[in-house]
């Protein structure tokens, strides 16, 4: 029995290696076509030769039918790269133009990325003032996060940029930012995309109020034990804004319980201490603090689970490698392997 299992595993490994070799060869030939054949006719001719050598005639008929689409895709590829290049100064353009082209093709093949999503991410990355020399590393980290989170690279990159900028972090910290997001996913409920789409709403607000990254992550993980991620994020933003810029009505409400603005200032007290002080308020009063009935439910979940919050905050400190673990799990799937194999074919041919 063990012998048969071992033989089966060896067969799977050999087939996987064979598929990877074919993918790698196709990717290299396409890179060569993009690099050397700037004339569109030559590009199509070269790409056609590459595919004919690897596909049956029946399969190639489909490629022929899509040749006009391949031309459009190639032209779009150049247009998108040039769009990002306009954000750079002359010296950077001369230095990074070829690098951007080659690395873009590499990323598309390695991570099964769509041109539209990747080019948008490249443009957003450069326009966010991330140095050209760090842009491709940023995009590779974003690509891993996208695959691990089963989403598109533009969504992952946008979440990374929003969080990084919101908390005043540098581009070299992007790996830790994604680890932070995946740790929230691991501890709380919801998908990476659930958090990624809305994290920009609260990153900057949280940082300005004095709430640390670990506090925010632990709070979201705790709240989402019983409510949806978008509600938790909206509640956190509204709670922070209400306590940072309280109305006269809210100030008077706090006075009723002998609480001052200093008592609910996140820079004067820890996040957990502020939340704990608010537990003396009645339900309708907490609705006012949270900004809505749904917000109250989220806040009540946090108040009732402060022990869990403290536990999660400690675990946030051990988030290193969370993205890599999720990524490795994802790439082992057959679905991802097929997407990776067909990525260049869909975009260029």
- Please write the tens of the pLDDT for every residue from 94-137: 666 677 778 888 888 888 888 888 888 988 998 888 988 898 89
- C-alpha dihedral sign at 224, 230, 233, 236: negative
Among 276, 199, 205, residue whose Cα is nearest residue 240: 205
pTM of this structure: 0.75
Residue 127 and residue 119 in contact, taking contact as beta carbons nearer than 8 Å: no
Using a CB cutoff of 8 Å and minimum separation of 24, what contacts does 83-90 make? 83/119, 83/123, 84/119, 84/122, 84/123, 84/126, 87/123, 87/126, 87/127, 88/126, 88/132
Residue 213 and residue 180 in contact, taking contact as beta carbons nearer than 8 Å: yes
Q: What is the pLDDT of residue 340?
A: 54
Q: What is the pLDDT of residue 223?
A: 96
Helices 132-148 and 153-166: crossing angle in degrees, nearest 10, is 120
Please count the other Cβ atoms lying within 10 Å of the Cβ belonging to residue 286: 19
Provide the b/e sequence for 162-180 (b: ≥16 CB within 10 Å). bbbbbbebebebbbbbbbb
Q: Give ∠ CA 139-145-151 in degrees, rounded to 5.
A: 105
- Please write the tens of the pLDDT for every residue from 196-255: 999 988 999 999 999 999 999 999 999 999 899 999 999 999 999 999 999 999 999 999
Q: What is the pLDDT of residue 311?
A: 98
How many CA atoms are closer than 13 Å to the CA of 240, on its beta-carbon side? 24
Residue 174 and residue 140 in contact, taking contact as beta carbons nearer than 8 Å: no
Give the contacts of 129 (CB within 8 A, at least 6 positions apart). none
Among 313, 277, 310, 282, residue whose Cα is nearest residue 296: 282
Domain boundaries defined on the chain: 15-65, 85-197, 199-319
Residue 199 and residue 233 in contact, taking contact as beta carbons nearer than 8 Å: yes
Give the contacts of 71 (CB within 8 A, at least 6 positions apart). 40, 44
DSSP classification of residue 171 = G
Q: What is the pLDDT of residue 98?
A: 73
Q: What is the pLDDT of residue 117?
A: 86
Residue 249 and residue 213 in contact, taking contact as beta carbons nearer than 8 Å: no
**CA-based max dimension of the chain:** 82
**Residue 283, SS3?**
helix
Residue 177 and residue 323 in contact, taking contact as beta carbons nearer than 8 Å: no
Q: What is the pLDDT of residue 40?
A: 47
Q: What is the pLDDT of residue 36?
A: 47
Please count the other Cβ atoms lying within 10 Å of the Cβ belonging to residue 152: 22
Q: What is the DSSP string of 199-225?
A: THHHHHHHHHHT--HHHHHHHHHHHTT
Q: What is the pLDDT of residue 132?
A: 82
Q: What is the pLDDT of residue 84?
A: 73
> What parts of the chain have a pLDDT lower than 50?
36-44, 51, 54-55, 57-60, 63, 67, 334, 348
Please, is 122 exposed, middle or buried when counting C-beta atoms within 10 Å of its C-beta (0-12, 13-18, 19+)?
A: buried
* Residues 175, 199, 306, 225, Cα dihedral to 10°: -100
Give the contacts of 97 (CB within 8 A, at least 6 positions apart). 81, 85
Q: What is the pLDDT of residue 4?
A: 54
Residue 129 and residue 89 in contact, taking contact as beta carbons nearer than 8 Å: no
């Amino acid at each position: 029995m063990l012998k048969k299992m071992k033989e089966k595993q060896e067969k799977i490994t050999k087939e996987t290696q064979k598929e990877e070799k074919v993918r790698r060869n196709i990717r290299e030939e396409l890179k060569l076509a993009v690099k050397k054949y700037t004339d569109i006719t030559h590009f199509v001719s070269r790409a056609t030769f590459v595919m004919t050598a690897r596909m049956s005639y029946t399969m190639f008929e489909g490629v022929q039918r899509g040749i006009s689409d391949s031309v459009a895709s190639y032209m779009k590829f150049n247009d998108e790269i040039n769009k990002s290049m306009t954000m750079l100064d002359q010296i950077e353009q001369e230095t990074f133009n070829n690098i951007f082209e080659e690395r873009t093709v590499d990323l598309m093949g390695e991570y099964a990325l769509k041109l539209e999503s990747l080019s948008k991410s490249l443009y957003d990355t450069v326009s966010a003032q991330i140095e050209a020399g760090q842009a491709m590393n940023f995009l590779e980290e974003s690509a891993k996060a996208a695959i691990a989170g089963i989403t598109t690279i533009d969504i992952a990159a946008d979440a990374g940029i929003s969080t990084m900028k919101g908390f005043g972090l540098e581009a070299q910290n992007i790996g830790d930012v994604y680890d932070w997001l995946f740790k929230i996913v691991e501890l709380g409920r919801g998908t990476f995309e659930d958090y990624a789409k809305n994290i920009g709403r609260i990153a900057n607000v949280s940082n300005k109020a004095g709430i640390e990254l670990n506090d925010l992550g632990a709070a979201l993980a705790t709240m989402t034990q019983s409510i949806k991620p978008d509600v938790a994020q909206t509640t956190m933003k509204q709670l922070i804004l209400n306590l940072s810029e309280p109305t006269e009505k809210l100030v008077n409400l706090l006075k009723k319980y002998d609480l001052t603005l200093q008592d609910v200032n996140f820079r004067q007290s820890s996040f957990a201490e502020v939340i704990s002080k608010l537990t003396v308020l009645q339900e309708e009063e907490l609705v006012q603090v949270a900004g809505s009935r749904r917000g109250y439910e989220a806040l009540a979940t946090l108040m009732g689970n402060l022990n869990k919050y403290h536990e999660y905050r400690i675990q946030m400190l051990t988030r290193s490698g969370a993205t890599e673990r999720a990524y490795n799990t994802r790439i082992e799937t057959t679905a991802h392997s097929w997407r990776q194999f067909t990525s260049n074919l869909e975009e260029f041919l």
